[in-house]
A and B are shown apart, each in its own frame.
Chain A
């Protein structure tokens, strides 16, 4: 379904990003697995993709730095070709109640989660505009819609991504480039493993489908949004949250 397409997945070495990278490869895409610190994890994803018979490349880049993204684009074009799919998945949390939140914790989260999406979309989007084709999917969070105590920075960044997605969808639509967002709810990952059993129990009660999500639930939606099956969908934020926020 995605044969001959080149996809960049930021933060693709673990968690939801890893599931997305593997899913896009399963559909036939060549995949760039971007990472910031754990090259071993990224290499493992690359190897898994190569075993599936697809091309893959691990590229270290901090999405909040324009130079890093330019390098990622160069490396991708040299090894795999022009980019048709961008999944802005890289994200971090620095949780804490607002009153105690340090300025640095605010800045770190906004830089990676929001500025990173801006930079990658701007620089890679510029290439897509020339080709007049492409799909961009931004991974936001249900927290960006409903808010969450202790995550003012994260929620602000994710709500920002939703507004960004809608605006860019309008700007890029005339060039046949769809821009959408996916908003995962409670997905089992490294990020949620840090939470206490009590917190998890509370969340479970708030999820109508009665279970936590898995990374693959998100990956399935992303693979749909970057495929030809979603050509008439743009500017949307689609929740994958088991009905947690309705």
Chain B
């Protein structure tokens, strides 16, 4: 799951493949994503995993680990 999430983020933000992304990485603080990027990435997760991520949940994500945990919980 972490690898898939990482792949989507790299793709959406057009980052280099060797960028360091860990569970503690923040999209906005560390990867320079803007608010529109964040919305697009959330939409990409929704498409990829066929789930709905409400805005109020998405706002709570602080780092990639939070996102991975949320998607895993949602899928189970």
Contact = CB atoms under 8 A, between A and B. Distances in A.
A174 B40 CA distance: 13
A175 B36 contact: yes
A172 to B, nearest CB: 8
B4 to A, nearest CB: 18
Contacts of A174: 34, 36
A67 interface: no
Chain B, interface SS category: helix
Interface residues of B, number: 4
Chain A, interface SS category: helix
A126 B36 CA distance: 11
A126 B43 contact: yes
B40 A129 contact: yes
B43 A171 contact: no
A176 B34 CA distance: 15
Interface in B24-74: 34, 36, 40, 43
A171 B35 CA distance: 10
8 contacts: A126-B43, A129-B36, A129-B40, A130-B40, A171-B36, A174-B34, A174-B36, A175-B36
Given A129-B36, A174-B34, 6 more contacts: A126-B43, A129-B40, A130-B40, A171-B36, A174-B36, A175-B36
